[in-house]
A and B are shown apart, each in its own frame.
Chain A
Amino acid sequence: MMTYLSIRNLTVRLNTGPVILRSVSVNVAAGQVHGLVGESGAGKSMIGKAVLGTLPRAMQITSGEIWLDGTNLLTLPPKERRRRIGATAALIPQDPLTALNPSKRIGPQITRRLVDILGWTKVDADARARELLDEVHIPNINRVMRSYPHELSGGMRQRILIASAFAAEPKLIIADEPTTALDVTVQKQILRLISDMQDRHGTALLFVTHDLGVVSKVCDTLSVLYAGKVVEDARMHRFFMRPIHPYSAALLAATPTYTDPMGSLTPVPQDVIRAVEQEVRQHDVRAGS
Chain B
Amino acid sequence: MRDARAEVKRPIGLRLWLSGGWLALLFIGAIFAPLIAPKDPLMQDLFLGRLPPFWMAGTEPGFLLGTDSLGRDVLSRILHGARLAIIVALAAGTLTCLIGATLGLIAGYYRGWPDRIISRFVDIWMAFPPVLFAILLIAVLGPGLSSIIIAIVVIDWTRFARVIRAEAMGQGAMDYIASAQVAGRTRFGTMMTEILPNVLPTIVALLTLEMGIAVIVEAILSFVNLSISTDSPTWGGMIAEGRTSVHQAWWVLVFPLVTLFLTVLSFSQLGEGLKDRFDPVLR
Docked Cα-Cα span, A87 to B184, in Å, equals: 8
Decide if A82 touches B179 in the complex (CB within 8 Å). no
A-B contact count (CB 8 A): 73
- Contact yes or no, A103 B176, CB < 8 A: no
**Chain B residues with CB under 8 A of A90:** 182-183
Partner of B176, one of A57, A94, A101, A140: A101
Q: Which residues of A contact B198 (CB under 8 A)?
A: 101-103
Minimum C-beta distance from A56 to chain B (A): 10
Q: Are B175 and A93 in contact (CB under 8 A)?
A: yes
Of the candidates B185, B186, B281, the one whose C-beta lies within 8 Å of that of A150 is B281
Closest CB of chain B to A138's CB: distance in Å?
A: 9
Taking the complex as formed, is B6 at the interface, i.e. its CB lies under 8 A from any CB of chain A?
A: yes
Chain A neighbourhood of B112, CB < 8 A: 57
Does B181 lie at the interface of the complex (its beta carbon under 8 Å from any beta carbon of A)?
yes
Asked whether A102 and B280 contact (CB < 8 A) given A95-B175, A151-B3, A151-B6, the answer is yes
B39 in contact (CB, < 8 A):
no
A253 interfacial by beta-carbon distance below 8 Å: no
Docked CA distance A90–B174 (Å): 16
Interface presence of A13 (CB below 8 A): no
State in angstroms the CA–CA spacing of A156 and B3 once bound together: 13
Q: How far is the CB of A260 from chain B (nearest CB, A)?
A: 37
Query: Is B3 within 8 A of A112, CB to CB?
Result: no
B178: Cβ under 8 A from any A Cβ: yes
State the main secondary structure of chain B at its contact with A. Answer: helix
How big is the A interface, by class? Answer: 35 or more
Contact of B181 with A53 in the complex, beta carbons under 8 Å: yes
Residue B1 at the A interface, CB < 8 A?
yes
User: Within 8 Å of chain A (Cβ to Cβ): is B200?
Assistant: yes
A101 to chain B, nearest CB (A): 5
C-beta contact mask, A106-129 vs B, less than 8 Å → 1, else 0? 000000110011000000000000
Q: Which residues from B are CB-within-8-Å of A139? A: 1
Give Cα distance in the complex from A92 to B283, angstroms. Answer: 28
The reply on B194 being an interface residue by CB < 8 A is yes
A150 close to B280 (CB less than 8 A): yes
Question: Which residues of B have CB within 8 Å of A53?
Answer: 181-182
A52 adjacent to B197 (CB under 8 Å): no
Q: Name the CB-closest residue of B to A89.
A: B182
Spell out B's residues near A (CB within 8 Å): 1, 3, 5-6, 111-112, 174-176, 178-186, 194, 197-198, 200, 280-281
